[in-house]
Chains A and B, each alone.
Chain A
């Protein structure tokens, strides 16, 4: 089986930096992925890490440590539009398993 743990809610101010952590246990592992979901909408892809290290895409970065079964999503220069839920997901050989999500509240 698999389990993923993320904080349920995080609050930060506009312009700040926030890190959302994800720890996982899984029977098989290809990579760790991150998705953003606004209220009422479908999840959208942010990043995928197959190898250890940090990957940067604009204001968002994602990190993976396979030995620690740990990853995080780093959001910089927060904007109000970043208020959403963020999900980590493990890629387990043709199947994606999602965490319960972290609700990010960005305040002015």
Chain B
């Protein structure tokens, strides 16, 4: 079966520290992968998406970057966190076709202090 893993579930980091969130997918090949951020009580903001290894598209210029070193691995990074980077980060895998559907990881709740 197809599953998506994301970790860690929660993270508290000081301002100025680096960040690395990892997402992996099982049970499929060449998935379309996405990073979203959700502020408290708000909608999901698309940050990055990738249709293949090394292919990254950025939606919003900001203090974050993404990489796809392997087919089923998607990483969200920052060199120096800002207070405004706090939020709920969600990795998603979207399948397209007769059943277009987004599958989300469990999410990472990041608090920058």
Q: A residues within 8 Å of B by Cβ?
A: 4, 30-31, 33, 35, 41-45, 48, 50, 87, 89, 91, 94-101
Cα–Cα, bound, A43→B105 (Å) = 9
Q: B residues within 8 Å of A by Cβ?
A: 32, 34, 36, 42-46, 49, 51, 59, 90, 92, 94, 96, 99-107
B49 to chain A, nearest CB (A): 6
> Contacts A33-B102, A44-B104 given: A96-B43 contact, CB under 8 Å?
no
Q: Is the CB of A99 within 8 A of B100?
A: no
Q: Is the CB of A42 within 8 A of B104?
A: yes
> A42, A87, A101: which contacts B105 (Cβ < 8 A)?
A42
For the residues of A in contact with B, the DSSP-based class is strand
Which residues of chain B are near A96, meaning CB under 8 Å?
34, 46, 92, 94, 102
Q: Is the CB of A95 within 8 A of B46?
A: yes
Residue of B nearest to A87 (CB): B43
> Contacts A42-B90, A94-B51 given: A33-B100 contact, CB under 8 Å?
yes
Which residues of chain B are near A99, meaning CB under 8 Å?
43
> B42, B51, B100: which contacts A31 (Cβ < 8 A)?
B100
Q: Which of A4, A43, A45, A101 has the most CB of B within 10 A?
A: A43
Q: Is the CB of A50 within 8 A of B43?
A: no
Query: Given A45-B102, A94-B51, A98-B43, list of 12 further CB < 8 A pairs?
Result: A4-B43, A35-B102, A45-B103, A94-B49, A95-B34, A96-B46, A96-B92, A96-B102, A98-B45, A99-B43, A101-B42, A101-B43
Q: Is the CB of A50 within 8 A of B100?
A: yes
Which residues of chain A are near B45, meaning CB under 8 Å?
98
Q: Is the CB of A43 within 8 A of B44?
A: yes
Q: Is the CB of B104 within 8 A of A48?
A: no
List 13 contacting pairs A-B, 8 Å CB cutoff, sorted by A: A4-B43, A42-B90, A42-B107, A48-B100, A48-B101, A87-B43, A94-B49, A95-B46, A96-B34, A96-B92, A96-B94, A97-B46, A100-B43
Which residues of chain A are near B43, meaning CB under 8 Å?
4, 87, 98-101
Which residues of chain B are near A33, meaning CB under 8 Å?
100-102
